[in-house]
Chain A
Amino acid sequence: MDNLKEDLKKQIIEQLNLEDITPTDIADDALLFDDGGLGLDSIDALELIVLLEKYHGIQVVNPEEGKVAFRSIDTMAEYIRKRKS
């Protein structure tokens, strides 16, 4: 099990108040901003930026980076590992 991905799921649920969802409901490759995935909106995107800074000390300053990074749990984890390496 990838701890970073599991942590990310818990952090997203807490930060975005997704009370009906558990980490197991979120597939690693599910599209976060697609209705078939988590169905997040633009305010949630801002919360994800806050989440990355709060929990991982990463500032997203380039909006284009966010577009790619926030596609899924997989891409978020990849982005965090890349920024920290």
Chain B
Amino acid sequence: MSLITTYCHLSADQCSVNGKVVSTRERSAAGSWFKQIYKEQEFVYPKFYKMDALSQAGFLASELIKRANQGIVNSYKDDEIAMLFANQSSSADTDLRFMHSYEHNGAPSPSLFVYTLPNIVLGEIAIINKWYGENMFAVLPKFAPGFFADYGRILLSTGAKAVLCGWLGVLGDHIEVFVWLVENESENGLDFNKENLLELAGI
């Protein structure tokens, strides 16, 4: 049976893992909210600072899930973890920043340009972890638990033993991130179905 074993939420003000708050935004703090979490959680990955907000969200959520569930690092071969992400706004957050860079700053920014596709976040996570499993990023009208449940099951029945799933809603100040891990061989967790996803997501 496939179970949801770990999950992480990121909103505009809070970051939680398995329902427990691990960071609360300090509006007076210098830098962005995601950078605040990065520093508070003492992650060490300098490339984080070069990532766009979508990739930073994916990085933080996946690292927090790994920290809460050490098994994901040790229990699977590098091609046994698939990734299935989606959102509503694709890479619009960075697309707009890129447009601004050439309309107002005189030159298009190469480092912004490389993030003007939503699936780059999957590459970032795959590179960090050396995961070579299947991956997909879908752009959907709204959070669709049925999509994740159906496609996730396909991945789990065609070679993957775990799937890192995520809804990465990041556009300007709007942050609605829900990332969760589904595992085939685990004894503890919630059934991986659309009803549980809808309840856990809170979206």
Binding site for B on A (CB under 8 A): 16-20, 39, 43-44, 46-47, 50, 53-54
Given A54-B105, A54-B106: A17 touches B35 (CB 8 Å cut-off):
no
B43-68 residues at the A interface, CB under 8 angstroms:
46, 49-50
B112: min CB distance to chain A, Å: 10
A19: min CB distance to chain B, Å: 5
A25: min CB distance to chain B, Å: 12
Would you call A17 and B114 a contact (CB within 8 A)? no
Would you call A17 and B111 a contact (CB within 8 A)? yes
Interface pairs (11), CB distance under 8 Å:
A16-B50, A17-B49, A17-B111, A19-B35, A20-B46, A44-B111, A46-B110, A47-B109, A50-B108, A50-B110, A54-B105
Contact with A along B110-134 (1 / 0, CB 8 A): 1100100000000000000000000
Lowest 7 A-B CB distances belong to which pairs?
A46-B110, A19-B49, A50-B107, A17-B49, A17-B50, A43-B111, A43-B110
A16: min CB distance to chain B, Å: 7
Give CA–CA (A44, B50) in the complex, Å.
10
